[in-house]
Structure 1
Amino acid sequence: MSNNVLVAYATKNGSTAEIAEAVAAVLRKDGLTAEALPARSVTDVGPYDAVVVGGGLYAGRWHKDARRFVRRQRRALTERPVWFFSSGPLDASASERDIPPVPGARRAMDKLRVTEHVTFGGRLEEGAEGRIARMIVQSGKGGDFRDFAAIESWAAGVAKALGDQRVQ
């Protein structure tokens, strides 16, 4: 029975946090108890029946806080349903095709038997932290490439899968 869901996220500039909040909102709308929390602040997943982990992509790597969270909570995560999402491509590619998980996320998925992974577009706008991020924005390659309709549709699929488990 999966009713209480954690959406743990790792973000640098807030884009992944906003995606996590949207996922949690859909789960709540579909009758689940869900909260979105920064992955680095979660010390125990015991109270949760299921977990969604989201990490921003930086230079082809999943955010270090997402990787650390999965490592710290590995044993508990193997005992409950888990979904992963990544956010980051600064173009329309995530809306046009399935983008596989980066190697760090893939390794964690294999160890945890993650139910599903999806990659969403990212956002990088004026005021972004980090020298490289600022260079990307200044070069005109930043923007907001998140597709909230796709995010909400994916989250509804997670809610449905958890609802189906509650029925069994």
Structure 2
Amino acid sequence: MIEETMNTKILVAYASRYGSTREIAESVSRTLEKAGYTVDCRNVMDVSDISPYAAVVAGSPIYMGKWLVEAVDFVKRFCIELNEKPLAIFAVGYSMKDETDMIRKSASASMSEVRIYVRPQVEGLFAGRFDPEGMSRADLDMMKMAGAVPGDARDWSQVARWAEALPSVLFTLKE
């Protein structure tokens, strides 16, 4: 078992197309820092080495029912090391604003490609934000076809509760 210390370093790695998932990753990082951990919050594209970290939290928005390709590539690239470390993953989707069983199952299924490579100790599903400003035409059209109405559905207290529980899950279950 990893010995938990106040010097334990955690990586929070995220992919984000329009900033909503990045902001959730930053919130998770702040919560872990308040608990006494050293945290690096980085875009998956900026991570070249995960060996300095005692644990990893990785997240991606959900587009077309899947994680972003760069987030999946991150997991593939580091899968051996990620299977040797405590790992938490999360997905962010605007559809989670209406959290029904069907939507929850669909959002959870977005992580199936990641689960091929790693076995996370914990998973999180969070509602996201839909802000048409700056979106690509294709993404905007997809959101309109889905009948999405612009808004911010993120539940910051839910994110904080999940992040607060991470240390006890990550550092007690992984051996």
TM-score bucket (shorter structure)? 0.7 to 0.9
Q: Give the aligned partner of residue 25 of structure 1.
A: 30
1:149 to 140, 148, 157: 157
Q: CA separation in 1, counterparts of 2:129 and 2:144?
A: 10
Q: Give 2:64's aligned residue.
A: 59
Deviates more, 1:120-129 or 1:131-140: 131-140
The structure-2 alpha-carbon separation of the partners of 1:162 and 1:33, relative to structure 1 and needing over 3 Å to count, comes to: farther
Q: What is the letter of the counterpart of residue 87 of structure 1? A: V
Instruction: Give the alignment partner of residue 131 of structure 2, picking from 120, 125, 129.
Output: 125
Query: Which residue pairs with 1:99 in the alignment?
Result: 104
Q: How far apart are the structure 1 equivalents of 2:87 and 2:71?
A: 13
Q: Normalized against structure 2, the TM-score is what?
A: 0.83
Which one of the candidate residues 23, 38, 48 is aligned to 1:43? Answer: 48
Give the root-mean-square deviation of aligned CA atoms.
2.4
Measure, in 1, the Cα distance between the counterparts of 2:95 and 2:119: 28
* Aligned-residue offset at 1:107: 3.5
- CA–CA separation in structure 1 for the residues paired with 2:96 and 2:160: 19
SS in 1 for 2:11: strand
The answer for the alignment partner of 1:81 in structure 2 is 86
Q: Note the residue ranges of structure 1 that are not aligned, 5 or more in a row.
A: none
Of residues 92, 114, 139, the one that matches 1:108 is: 114
**CA offset at residue 110 of structure 1?**
4.6
Q: 8 Å contact 1:4–1:32 — kept in the other structure?
A: yes
* Number of residue pairs aligned between Structure 1 and Structure 2: 165
Give the letter for the 2:109 counterpart: V
- Secondary structure in 2 aligned to 1:53? strand
TM-score (ref. length: structure 1)? 0.87
* Residue type of the alignment partner of 2:73: R
Corresponding residue for 1:5?
A: 10
SS at match of 2:61: strand
Cα deviation for residue 124 of structure 1 reads 1.4
Structure 2: how far apart are the matches of 1:75 and 1:91? 31
Report the residue type matching 1:37 in the other structure.
R
Give the counterpart letter for 1:9 in structure 2: Y
